[in-house]
C-alpha cells in the first residue's frame, strides 16, 4: 500500500520547481522531481557539524551553506562555544518553510540570536563577502557528483575550493555533505588540505550518506 502524500505547496523558482509535501508524519522537499531533504533522519547533517566543531579549538563563527530543514543549524547552536552562525540559503521558500513547518525539528534554530540567515546564491556570495569563518559546512547539493544545478559543480572544483580557502580562518575546517562516496572529490581535497577524513552514516535505503571534513590547508 502506497503511503499517502499530501502536497502542501508547489512553486516555480529560477532554478526550477520546488515542492513541499507531507508523508508519514514528516515533511519532504522535492526539487525538480528529485528528493532533496526531509525532517527525518538528520543524523549525517548533525554529524557533519559536530565532527567539524570537534576539530576546532575556538569554533566561534560558523558558515552553513544550505538551510535544509535546519538540522545543521540546530547542531551548531548546541555548542556554547559558537558565537554566530551564518546560513546562506538561495530559496526564499525554504526559509519560509523552516519558520512555518520545521521549527520544532530544529529546536527553533532560526529564532536563536546567534543565527543570521542570508538569502543568496552561495557561489556569488562567496565571491563578494569579506567575512572569515572557523568552520564551514556545505550541504547545498546531494554531493559533488550530484549537484542541484549545473552551476554548483564549480563549488567542488579548483575555483570553488580556492574561494572557500579564502573564507577560512587559520586552523579552520571545511565539511561537505554528500549522498554518496566520491573518490575523485576526496583526492581533489587532498591536494588542498593536509588532512581529509571521510565519515559514513548508514541510511535505511541505498548507499550511506558521506561527510568529508578537510583540515589544515596546504
116-165, pLDDT tens digit by residue? Answer: 999 999 999 999 999 999 999 999 887 888 787 778 888 999 999 999 99
Per-residue pLDDT reduced to its tens digit, 78-106: 999 999 999 999 999 999 999 999 999 99
pLDDT level of residue 218 (50, 70, 90 thresholds) = low
pLDDT band at 3, cuts 50/70/90? low
Residue 217 β-bridge partners: 193
CA atoms within 13 A on the CB side of 72: 29
Tell the residue number behind the cell numbers 534554530, with chain if given.
Answer: 109
Burial class (CB in 10 A: 0-12, 13-18, 19+), 102: buried
Amino acid at each position: 500500500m502506497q503511503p499517502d502524500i499530501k502536497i502542501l505547496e508547489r512553486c516555480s523558482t529560477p532554478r526550477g520547481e520546488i515542492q513541499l509535501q507531507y508523508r508519514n508524519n514528516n515533511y519532504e522537499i522535492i526539487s525538480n522531481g528529485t528528493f532533496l531533504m526531509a525532517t527525518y533522519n538528520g543524523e549525517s547533517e548533525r554529524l557533519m557539524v559536530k565532527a567539524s566543531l570537534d576539530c576546532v579549538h575556538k569554533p566561534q563563527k560558523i558558515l552553513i551553506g544550505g538551510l535544509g530543514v535546519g538540522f545543521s543549524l540546530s547542531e551548531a547552536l548546541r555548542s556554547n562555544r559558537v558565537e554566530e552562525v551564518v546560513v546562506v540559503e538561495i530559496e526564499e521558500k525554504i526559509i519560509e518553510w523552516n519558520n512555518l513547518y520545521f521549527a520544532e525539528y530544529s529546536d527553533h534554530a532560526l529564532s536563536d540570536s546567534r543565527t543570521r540567515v542570508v538569502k543568496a546564491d552561495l557561489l556569488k556570495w562567496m565571491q563578494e563577502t569579506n567575512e572569515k569563518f572557523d568552520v564551514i559546512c556545505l550541504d547545498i547539493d546531494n554531493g559533488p557528483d550530484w549537484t542541484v544545478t549545473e552551476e554548483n559543480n564549480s563549488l567542488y572544483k579548483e575555483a570553488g575550493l580556492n574561494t572557500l580557502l579564502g573564507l577560512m580562518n587559520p586552523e579552520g575546517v571545511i565539511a561537505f555533505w554528500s549522498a554518496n562516496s566520491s573518490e575523485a572529490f576526496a583526492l581533489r581535497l587532498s591536494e588542498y588540505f593536509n588532512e581529509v577524513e571521510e565519515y559514513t552514516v548508514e541510511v535505511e535505503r541505498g548507499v550511506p550518506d558521506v561527510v568529508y571534513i578537510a583540515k589544515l590547508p596546504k
